[in-house]
Amino acid sequence: MKAAAPFSAWERSIALRYLLAKRSQGGVALISLISFSAIALAVAALVITMSIMNGFRSELLSKMLGFNGHAFVVGGSEAPQGRAAMVARLKAVPGVIDAVPVVESQALASGPDANAGAVVRGMTPADVRASAIITAHLNPRNALAVFGAGDDGGDQVLVGEKLAQGIGVQAGDPITITAPSGGATVFGTMPIRKTYTVAGTFTVGMSEYDQAFIYMPLDQAQLFFGRDAAVDFIEIKLADPDRAPALKPALAAAAGPGAVVTDWTEKNRAYFGALEVERTAMRLIFLFIVALAALNIISGLVMLVKNKGRDIAILRTIGARRGAILRIFFMAGATIGLLGTASGLIFGILFCLNIGAIQTALEWVTGVSVFNPDVYFLAHVPAKIDWKEVIIVSIWALLASFIFTLLPAWRASRLDPVEALRYE
């Protein structure tokens, strides 16, 4: 009689029957359910955690690179004519989208309710209009119509929404800005104070910027901070921010002698390095948790083998080979791992795809902000599914389940039918 092929229908049917058998029939359905649940929850937790960390990094990077430049040129020509020529050369570098002169300085912003530290950024009205992250969330929408109007850039400024709320101002209100160092007098260097009008407020969606920045026309910023015709740096936007380090030599050549070029990876190296270390550590921890969850399969299969000793002996006496017995119990354990992994992936992916609605529902039920933007810098819980990472998680969970299934399955295949039937 010809032997059945490996993983044949009869082997699969027996494995499934053992897996679903009730305790009274020598089955371990409860332990199997616990093992399935543990693997599913561990896989889901890993997918959700890594997706949130990926989303946090991606969202943070997007906000930071949308609000700030990707490369910066300090020094070079101080004269407006020479600076204009430098900007033209920088814009001509392949991969450069824009290059704008910027004046940036610390200041004190005062309103009717409070005083707060601020960062005043001076840019031309045209460059501010070209900044999509600012113009997309302006209140009122026509705030840029008056920004830059008047002598020396006028007296209209744009204020971050949270900063405006903190000091108690809104569009049309006066705001007093104090520069820490101004012009020299007979008594030494004195602070400069001037009252401006709030043209409007902007929201970036990142509290670090919304509660600190004020935009001022470039000519007015140069006058207010005593820069004369100079600027603090040239801010460069690239088509691909990740190419910033590779483009530094070309940017330095375009900027000319005396100019120093830096990029965003250098300015934020410690911050994003810490995020990457945390991300790697969390991935390793959860991979170990998935492996520990898969260990539950061993206890279930050991009990199943013990309870099914008589059945194993009968199968062996009617011609089943050791390989068939091993495959039967391997499929029983592997099925738990496969279903647990699939369920965990589905739950984790659905959770990430609907994380905004889940956050809203939790906040509505508890009445507590589960993701405080003042602490986490972002206004919502971000989640970005990395499908490559999902595949790695799936392979790891299945591999752990299969490996931990092999030992009890191998023991079942080595069971001596004579010993098993001796006391039956």
Instruction: Give one DSSP letter per residue of 255-300, joined into a string.
Output: H-TTEEEEEHHHHTHHHHHHHHHHHHHHHHHHHHHHHHHHHHHHHH
- Report pLDDT for 259: 86
- Report pLDDT for 156: 92
What's 182's DSSP letter? Answer: -
Burial of 187 (0-12, 13-18, 19+ CB in 10 A): exposed
Please list the residues that pair with 217 across neighbouring strands.
123
- The mean pLDDT of 275-297, rounded to a whole number, is 81
- The mean pLDDT of 301-327, rounded to a whole number, is 73
- Report pLDDT for 324: 76
- How sure is the predictor about 39, in pLDDT bands with cuts at 50, 70 and 90? confident
- The mean pLDDT of 296-303, rounded to a whole number, is 76
Work out the mean pLDDT of the chain and round it to a whole number. 82
- The mean pLDDT of 67-80, rounded to a whole number, is 80
The predicted-structure confidence for 116-172, as pLDDT tens digits, reads as follows 999 999 999 999 998 888 888 898 888 888 898 888 888 999 999 999 999 999 999
**Range scoring the smallest mean pLDDT among 22-36, 237-251, 252-266:** 22-36
The predicted-structure confidence for 94-106, as pLDDT tens digits, reads as follows 999 999 999 999 9
The predicted-structure confidence for 22-35, as pLDDT tens digits, reads as follows 655 545 667 778 88
Give helix 244-255 / helix 80-91 axis angle, nearest 10°. Answer: 140
User: For residues 99 and 314, which has the higher predicted lDDT (pLDDT)?
Assistant: 99
**Residue 52 neighbours by CB distance under 10 Å:** 19
- The mean pLDDT of 14-41, rounded to a whole number, is 72
**Range scoring the smallest mean pLDDT among 144-148, 182-186, 217-221, 287-291:** 182-186
- Report pLDDT for 209: 86
CA–CA gap between residue 70 and residue 264 (Å, rounded):
5
- The mean pLDDT of 259-285, rounded to a whole number, is 80
The predicted-structure confidence for 364-390, as pLDDT tens digits, reads as follows 887 777 666 655 556 677 788 888 888
- Report pLDDT for 1: 40
- For 409-423, give the DSSP string: HHHHHT--HHHHHTT
Residue partners of 74: CB distance under 8 A and separation at least 6 = 232, 233, 234, 259, 260, 262
